[in-house]
Chains A and B, each alone.
Chain A
Amino acid sequence: MTQQMTRNVPAAMPRRAPGEPGVWAFILTEMMIFTALFGLIVWNRGHHPEVFAEGQSLLSQPLGLINTVVLIMGSVSVVLAIGATQADRYRNASRWLTVAMVCGVVFVAVKGVEYGLVRHHGAWIHTNVFWMLFFAVTGAHLIHVFVGTAVLGLIRPRTARGLLGARDNDLFVSATCYWHMVDLLWLVLFPLFYLVN
């Protein structure tokens, strides 16, 4: 019986990371660096709860929430772009990538407004440990949003042409994975800075 079942099981497909496997060396290292930064935030929150509470009171939760929704919309667009390429609708995929890039630009703009508001309140990296971490970590994340948007911009023309190159499909999926990483990092940063008290 067991032998019969074993015989009927199809040979296992080789498991493979999405996109170009080597890109995961990049993505995982980035995630480790951010994990260290998250640990730093949590550790300092534990040691300076009143400083964090005071800093958090100056942050605009609606702006943080808008940016969260914007990045999630970007990720949904990227998922739709992947679906479109799988259906050989490369023009559609290219349009979805454009939508994701617009989300990236909106995120940067909202972040600029938010930085302006907290600067207006006199907060800066030297004010206290909360603002040091806020500007340094969200600034690092902002650079990643820039890079993610630029990477989508680089792969978009190739996508529109049908991902014809030998490595184009892997690079396309890798670019989308990077975008998801940027989104995921914000989904941790948002509660750490704006919600957890």
Chain B
Amino acid sequence: MSEPSMTLNNPGQTAMREQDLISSVQRGQHELFYELVQPYERRVYAAALAILRNEHDAEDAAQEAMLKAFANIRQFRAEARFSTWLIQITVNEALMRRRRERTVVMEGIDDRRDGEESEYAPRDFADWREIPSEALERKEVRQRLAEALATLDRKYREVFVLRDMEHLNIQETAEALGITVAAVKTRLLRARLMLRDLLAAGWEQGWFSRLPFEKGNKPW
């Protein structure tokens, strides 16, 4: 998967610039740290939000994660991807905060209610076509997608966000969440299929009615 916003122009040059920034910050040019992490602030926030589900808590956790990354920047080694390292710190911070909250008990009960051992069967088989990414220019569409994501149970949402939105690979996702690779794959499959069904249902309600699709064609 690609590194969003970091590979849009010249990936090699961007990677070199990032390595230069890391070295400079490690040598004491602390004022460059924000420049180093700025390309990843969206991903850091999204990772925290996926776990904490509360914007205020997510922002605080994201900031705290950045500060921890700053404090430990000397321990970062070039063989790792900086973005992955940063996301890992964020996930740890968010998980630690969630463990401190009682809501984890309630979510645990919810998760057991639909265990992942039972297979998920798609429910909607409407005609389909590819949705152009330009659809995301509409705030309403982004909002609908975010709402659908928010309805997923925690364990599916976390895996989906780290894998499909943060672009960690399967192994990295497993390590970040402390689960097995097989569990990541199972949860990811279920998350994707559930989102597909949720959004297909939305189509029936006219979410995408103003998109330039041909009459009679459904995107899902």
Interaction A to B: no
Interface positions of B (Cβ within 8 A of A): none
